[in-house]
Each structure stands twice: as structure tokens, then as C-alpha cells.
Amino acid sequence: MSTTDVPPSQGYINSRGLAPYAASDRTSRGRRYPEPPPSYRGEFQRDRDRIIHCAAFRRLEYKTQVFVNHEGDLFRTRLTHSIEVAQIARSVARALGLNEDLTETISLAHDLGHTPFGHAGQDALNGCMKEFGGFEHNLQSLRVVDVLEERYAEFPGLNLTFESREGILKHCSVAKARELGELGQRFLERRQPSLEAQLVNLADEIAYNHHDIDDGLRSQLLTVEQLREVALFARHHDRVRGRYPELTVRRVVYETLRRMINEVVGDLITSSQNRLDQAGVRSIDDVRNDDQPLVGYSDDIRADSLALKQFLRRHLYAHERVRRVSEQAASTITDLFDTFMRDPGQLPPQFRDKAPDRATRTDRARVVADYIAGMTDRYAYREHARLGLAQA
């Protein structure tokens, strides 16, 4: 669903196409392990390219968004969701004069640490890890790019720039922030990340809110009549039906969703530019030192978006069919975790070597969590069967 027909930014944009408060390759805080600068691309473009080529990104194709992967070929996965987030975020970044390469990098990397089975899998693994420090997918995404990807001779992980890593880490507890050094400092001082990071956070919300409607209708767990309870949907649905009375139901839905996204994205651009102008920011440091995010909706669209989220929570995410599959998925995760903790010899060699007999239970649990979090939906079920565990 295109979001290209949005109004242009009224803010000042310099001759390189970037607003003065955008992130810039030239002023990046750099990488954990120093590297020579790339020859034919920028630093953030290099980050994006490394993400696209990493194994964790490929696995997103078989990780669920709402519906477990085997339930149908047309439902969204973490991979298609990440691409949709990147499309929305780049459209807004271009209009606001922000750094598109950094915006796309954060968009494509934001779900790398997600478990199989969506939020049900994350909640189950967090429960398993409760006595070992817990599990949170944003921290796991950072762990993937900092440690778990093994592709380069001179450093672990992908060695991304500070700005990309900052954007990946959307949320963090104070306790965890203290362990992260410079990257965790903003959570301790209650400061903001780059505008590109703030933008991706909202593009993520826009993508899953509107596209979960599409998947919910396709699965027949939602109906158009139910959705007309949502003001944002109803007003665009009325306009489409009034203008195109002969259009099929399916095309009416697509046209409605396209217009909904365009309204929300257009509002996000206009409202964010107004905030930036009113705040008088002239650098990325001004952005970071503000005590509130500068990318955001108007009050009306914020209320519309909240109403849509609440509707989806009641009617889709809490639907009996979704709940039933989620419970099965959570049981699968718990079975796998308990089995590998009891018998780490069942782990693949590359993980088994990281959890030797002398390892503490906490260290072993983190290795087990890394292995499970990296699984796709179908691989988790396959491992469950391989281990001879009772079907959940």
C-alpha cells in the first residue's frame, strides 16, 4: 500500500538532501571495532547491507507476525513486516529530510531478535528466563548484531554503527542500560535517540496496525462490519464505497487501507515537522537532549491509532483461534527450553560448545535462549518432534 503521495516537508533541508538535525555518516559515533571507511557507500548503507546478508534476517521469512507460519502462504511474516516498515519509514524520512539509509537499516533490523511464534514465543521464553535475567526481543536484536552473527574475521557480530544500534534498542530497563555503556546512557538520563530511530518506532506501529487488519480479514477472524466500529476505518470505507460503488469487497478493503495509511503517514510528517520547527532544533544533539520524542502524530490521529490498536487487541489478538495456537506455541518453547537445560548435549555443536559442563546455569540458560530465539516457527516444531516431546 503506497505512502508516496504525502505532502513534502516544509523544514530546511541542506544541499545534500539532509535536514541539519538528521543523522549523518560524517558525524557518526562510529563502530565498536574501528574499520576503514567504505569506498563506494556510506556507513549506514554498509550497515543496511550487512543486515540484509546476515542469517538472522533470512530467518525472518519463517517467523510469524500474528499467524503461525504454516497457517497460510499469504499472511505476513517478520520479513515482510520489516520490509513494509522500511517502506513507510523511508517515505517519511525523505519528506522530513532525515537519513534514509539509517532509517532503512533500523527498520530491517528491528525484529532480528524476535522468537518464533511472535509475542507468544517471546512471553514464553521470557517466563523461562525469569530467574536468569529475562528475555526481551529488542535486547536480543542488539545481541544478534553485536555478538551472535559470526561472519567476519576481525570482530564478532556485524559491528554496526552506534546510530544503527541505538535505533535497534527501542526499550531498555535501567538495570540493563547500566550494562550497555554509552548505548544505554540515554535510558539513564531520559534522553531521546535520533529522529530516524523515533520514526521507525512509529512506522512499525503503522505497519502492524494496518496490515494486521488485512491478515485478520483474510483469515476471517475479523469482518468489515466489526471494523466499522473503528472511526479511522469507517470514514475511509465510506468514502471508497461512495466513490466506487461497483468495486469488489476485496478491492474496497485494499483501497480503504491504502487511504488510512496515507492519512496517518501524512499526519505524522506534518505534525513532526511542526514539532521540529517549534522546538527550534538544529542538530542531532538538540534532538537527543530533548526530553520528549519529536516525531509524532497530532492528537486526533494519535487517538485514532490508539482506538485501532485497542480494537485489534480485543478482536484479533485475543481471538480464540489465535489464543489456541499461541498456547500451543508457548508450550513448545517451554518444552524446548526445559529439555535443553536438563540436557545441553541435545544442543547443536556450535551452541553446545558455548555451554560446557563448567558453565553456570545462567550462562547455559542464555545460550539456550539464543538457540531458541533464533529458530523459525517450523524449525521449533521440528526440534520439538526430534526430541520426542509430546505434541503441545
**Whole-number pLDDT of residue 76:** 77
**Whole-number pLDDT of residue 259:** 97
Phi, psi of 357 (to 5 degrees): -60, -30
Half-sphere exposure at residue 281, Cβ-oriented, CA atoms within 13 angstroms: 29
What grid cell was written down for 356? 560446557
Q: Where are the domains of the chain?
A: 25-321
CA distance 258 to 195: 25
Tell me the one-letter amino acid at 205: E
CA distance 208 to 222: 15
Burial-class residue 350 by CB neighbours within 10 Å (0-12, 13-18, 19+).
exposed
**Whole-number pLDDT of residue 321:** 86
If the chain, 392 residues long, is cut into consecutive pieces of 10 residues, what is the mean pLDDT of each piece? Answer: 43 64 95 94 97 96 68 69 97 97 98 92 95 94 96 96 96 88 92 97 95 90 95 97 96 97 98 97 94 96 97 91 87 96 94 87 96 95 91 52
User: Please, what is the Cα angle at 63 between 57 and 67, to 5 degrees?
Assistant: 145
Provide the Cα torsion 325, 328, 334, 335; round to 10°: -150
Classify domain 25-321 by CATH number: 1.10.3210.10
**Whole-number pLDDT of residue 373:** 97
pTM for the predicted model, two decimal places: 0.92
Specify whether the CB–CB gap between 113 and 144 falls below 8 A: yes
